[in-house]
Structure 1
Amino acid sequence: MPNHFHGILIINKTDIDSTELPAIGQSQFQNHGKNTISSIVGSYKSIVTKASRQINPNFRLQPPFYDQIIRNVYAFENIQNYIANNPAKWKEDIFRKE
């Protein structure tokens, strides 16, 4: 998609220390440090935006990112199918600028 992307991050960390997790209700805009999903996605979006603006100075990604925890195989398959079929829906995208 020209203005957004989808991806599935698989985290295999099994030794999670609960003190590393943000408290419930903590601001989503707070800096949670290096190597968090937020910092990784933010860095990726920054790199993509800088490179894309060399081709098209008006390039913009959709601002926020949305996350969802995939808890079972059924949900994984549904999300995987959504990602695979999403480009066919580009003409319906409300953020589409052409």
Structure 2
Amino acid sequence: MICYKILMTKFKNKYRIESNRMPGWDYSGNGFYFITIVTQKMECILGEIMNGKMILSDFGEIAQNEWYKSFEIRQELILDEFVLMPNHLHALVVLKKPDNSHGSYGSHVETHGRASLQSIQQSTEQSTEQSFRQSIQQSTKQSKFYRKPKSLSSFIAGYKSAVTTKINNLIDEYVKTHGENVETHSLASQPIFEKYNRKNRLWQPNYHDHIIRNDDGYWRIKNYIKNNPKNWTDDKFYG
């Protein structure tokens, strides 16, 4: 079992999250992944939780629409569970290789969109809730040099870029209509330029991915994602 170390390093009043991938794991190969993507400074610009349910902002609508669109465009991806929260998203994603003749998840996909976990590398999952919550803190650095096509990092980079572009276009359209200094309109429960504009970064440059190795881990994480909105006040990203 791989033990991920989370190092929160303070640098110029900002936190940088360092972590390690599983050595030798091919991220363009078949696999089940628990993905977490977080907004810059964990700003709650994607919506708000009301009565245990996520109410999307205009930014959140864009983020959700682009997420679903990504799975229409990329045939190598299968979306399992997904939730968009005020400042992050969680998802269970299957990355498959349809050209694999043996051991391909493409040949094991079930009708409800979930592939069999039996062919995943078997390992003991962290079993305690505390350990699981700690694992969510980790974030994986995206490569600054080369992203393999149809890989997890390529998918996430494309998604982040698409959402940022759409939101920037929304802001530009708003500025044309209302003027850049207006403070009466809200796209995310606060004035539009208070939390995000073109001078800011929309997403944290990193993301977290966790390899799902067995059914126990699969169901534990799936339930965590499903219950995330109603457990928002206990979430580590809450604030």
Cα gap change, 1:95 to 1:71, in 2 (>3 Å)? closer
The two structures have a TM-score, normalised by structure 2, of 0.31
User: What is the DSSP-based 3-state SS (H/G/I as helix, E as strand, rest coil) of the residue aligned with 2:90?
Assistant: coil
Verify: 1:74 aligned to 2:216, yes or no: yes
Q: Quick one: distance in 1 between partners of 2:231 and 2:93?
A: 23
Verify: 1:37 aligned to 2:152, yes or no: yes
The answer to whether the 8 A contact 2:95-2:152 is kept is: no
After TM superposition, the structure 1 stretch with the greater mean CA deviation from structure 2, 30-39 or 70-79, is: 30-39
Larger strand share, 1 or 2: 2
Cα gap change, 1:47 to 1:28, in 2 (>3 Å)? closer
Q: Quick one: distance in 1 between partners of 2:230 and 2:166?
A: 25
What's the CA shift string for 1:21-79, capped at 9, x where partnerless? xxxxxx85242332211010111112122323425451733432111111111100011
- Give the corresponding residue for 2:228: 86
The two structures have a TM-score, normalised by structure 1, of 0.65
Higher relative CO (Cα under 8 Å, sequence separation at least 6) belongs to 1
Give structure 1 stretches of 5+ with no counterpart: 17-26
Q: CA RMSD in A?
A: 2.9
> How much has 1:2 moved relative to structure 2?
2.4
The answer to whether the 8 A contact 1:3-1:62 is kept is: no
Larger helix share, 1 or 2: 1
After TM superposition, the structure 1 stretch with the greater mean CA deviation from structure 2, 62-71 or 86-95, is: 86-95
User: What's the % identity of the aligned pairs?
Assistant: 36
Q: Quick one: distance in 2 between partners of 1:78 and 1:65?
A: 20
